Amino acid sequence: MGRLGIISGTVLLQGKGIFANLIERTMENAFGKALVLLSDRVAFIPRHGMPPHDDIPPHLINHPANFQALKELEVFEVIGINSTGSLKSHLKPGMLVVPDDYMLLTATPTVYRNELIHITPSLSSEVRQRLTKAAVGCGIDVVTGGVYWQTTGPRLETRAEIRMMSQFADLVGMTMGSEAVIAQELDLPYASLCTIDNFAHGLDAKGLTMEQIRQNARLNADAVANILARCIET
């Protein structure tokens, strides 16, 4: 069938299961350079780079170059693993969500430069169903459905912003909407498996730090790797 395209960031997948012994390759295309880790079954892009240079902030990620690289590798679909903050008290850190819609109200990336092209934004229902079935097959609970709100980053959101967002969305992050747009423009089926790594600013009395977010993301890494492995097997 070919390779499964995977894009991930904070969740540390390298070296786990299907991510062991991947070959690093830098690909250049019309949109720039993309770093891809390859096997015969996986094309994995670490969206923030690789240690010790894993410091590409969300607003500087070259989404067109990343997805063009996956297209040239002829992946059959793309799964984004996206770290998020919860906007709802019932969606707690440690939970996994397969969202069915997103909001991106700031400047949107595009592969088009001199053409007037419109897409009707959506996430692939087939990829979403495959993620959900894979999770069930692994005995891992996922929340199916929800709205992801993308902010620009790299700063976190203010309490006032979170209060407003929580009226319309369930999760907040900095990458998934942009990835969904570019994937659709390049005709690549795309959906996301979101890890909830923190309550958004103001929802938790303990406060919020980036180290706390990273620690929670590490706890989700094994579950995510198992779900992705199941997606490939089935």
What's residue 113's pLDDT?
A: 86
Would the pLDDT of 24 be above 90? yes
Cα 147 to Cα 176: distance, rounded to the nearest angstrom:
11
The total domain count for the chain is 1
| pLDDT tier for residue 88 given thresholds of 50, 70 and 90 | very high
| 159, 202 Cβ separation under 8 angstroms | yes
| 180, 75 Cβ separation under 8 angstroms | no
Domain that holds residue 172: 4-233
Cα 187 to Cα 26: distance, rounded to the nearest angstrom:
22
- pLDDT tens, position by position, 197-217: 989 987 776 666 666 667 777
- Lowest mean pLDDT of 22-26, 27-31, 211-215, name the range: 211-215
Cα 166 to Cα 87: distance, rounded to the nearest angstrom:
5
Cα 153 to Cα 57: distance, rounded to the nearest angstrom:
8
Stronger pLDDT, 73 or 233, i.e. the higher one: 73
What's residue 201's pLDDT?
A: 81
Residue 228 tokens, joined: 């992705």
Instruction: Kindly report the CATH number assigned to the domain that includes residue 50.
Output: 3.40.50.1580
Paired strand residues for 183:
none
